[in-house]
Amino acid sequence: MNIRSLSRGDGAVIGAAVLLLIASFLPFFTYKSYSGSGEGVVEKSVSSWNSALFPVLPSVTLAALIAAGLIVAARTQPAGRQVLGLALDQWGVALAVFAGWSALWSALSNLSPESSDGVSKGVGAWLTLVFGIALAVVAVLSTRLPALKAPLAGAPKPPQQPYPGQPYPGAPQPGLAQPGLAQPGMPQPGGYGYPGAPAPDPSFGGQPQPHAFGGQPPAPAAPQAQQPQPGSPDFTAFWFAVPVPRPLFPEDGSPTPIAELAPGTWYLAVEQRGPALVAQTQDGRRGVLQDTSGIQRG
């Protein structure tokens, strides 16, 4: 059962029925009895479950429980379903009124607080009267008063931001460089135009556009001690990028690649060897790029 389908009036009816059940175990009548064992006068009591009080139990307590069950069942059934021309909640309201009426007459069966034979009303009788009338009144008004028609359980609250007034953890911060995100004036790793974009296929015949890798390539770094000088006097070192992943072979001609050049990353060409280029990776490794078709010069 979905508790959100119940109203406050339904909850009050259920509560009154449960309290009537508890009251049925309390003394309904108390009386004095003379014990033949020498103890003298002994006070005894009977509850609604005693057969001497029939039909208080079925007409009040059990009727209240059935009424609450019918009202709850009506909230879980499709609208418009009827039994003998009445909906389940209408049957429940009618049975609740009957239980309240029976509770009233059970309490009025003896108006005198104490009769001549020593019988008096117990706490169970007065609680049965109070809860029985409350059950009938709430059942009738549960579909009429706005306060009782309100949902028993409020609507679920929408999830709140973990840090009010602050962006979620991991959100990009204005003015701060974020790992893996494009930065102005820097080569863009991972594709053309935005991180993760696919690299162009050279089989379609198009050369990468100058803006494809995001911004201008960095200026060639000043020659360092570990960088070899170009073999040709007319060769000038330049930055380049490959359109698809390509292997970088050792300079000694070994067929085992030492690295793989990835699209979206700029590499430095330091020497020309026929159609091949001697390239240097960002971690300082040098090798021969045999396939230079479709590369973008910086």
Q: Give the domain CATH number at 241.
A: 2.30.30
C-beta neighbour count of 207 within 10 angstroms? 13
Rounded to 5 degrees, what angle do the CA atoms 215, 218, 224 make? 170
Tokens 């050792």 found at: 250
Domains in the chain, number = 2
- Is residue 17 domain-shared with residue 119, that is, in the same domain? yes
| Number of residues written out for the chain | 298
Q: Is residue 190 part of a domain?
A: no
Placement of tokens 């070994």 in the chain: 254
Asked whether the predicted pLDDT for residue 22 surpasses 90, the reply is yes
pLDDT band at 111 (very low <50, low <70, confident <90, very high): very low
**Inside any domain, residue 270:** yes
Q: Where are the beta strands (DSSP E) in the chain?
A: 29-35, 40-46, 82-83, 86-87, 120-121, 238-241, 246-248, 259-261, 267-273, 276-280, 286-289, 296-297
- What pLDDT does 191 receive? 46
What does the alpha-carbon distance between residue 241 and residue 258 come to, in Å, rounded to a whole number?
Answer: 18
pLDDT one-digit tens code per residue, 64-77: 999 999 998 888 77
145, 47: one domain: yes
Cα-Cα-Cα-Cα torsion 90, 92, 96, 98, nearest 10 degrees, comes to: 70
Report for 76-90, 93-107, 164-178: range of highest mean pLDDT:
93-107
Structural domain ending residue among the three candidates 149, 183, 216:
149
Ordered strands of the 40-46 beta sheet: 40-46, 29-35, 120-121
| Pick from 40, 28, 27, 30: nearest CA to 119 | 30
Q: Which residues contact 277 (CB under 8 A, 6 or more apart)?
A: 240, 269, 271, 288, 289, 292
* Residues 237 and 142 grouped into a single domain: no
* Whole-prediction pTM: 0.49
In-domain check, residue 174: no
Let me know whether 246 and 138 are in one domain.
Answer: no
State whether 239 and 135 are in the same domain: no
Asked, for residue 291, whether it belongs to a domain, the answer is yes
**Residue-range definition of the domain harbouring residue 258:** 227-298
Last residue of a domain, one of 132, 149, 166: 149
Q: Does residue 254 share a domain with residue 143?
A: no
For residue 218, what are the contacts with CB-CB under 8 A and spacing of at least 6?
186, 187, 239, 266, 298
Name the pLDDT band for 220 (thresholds 50, 70, 90). Answer: low
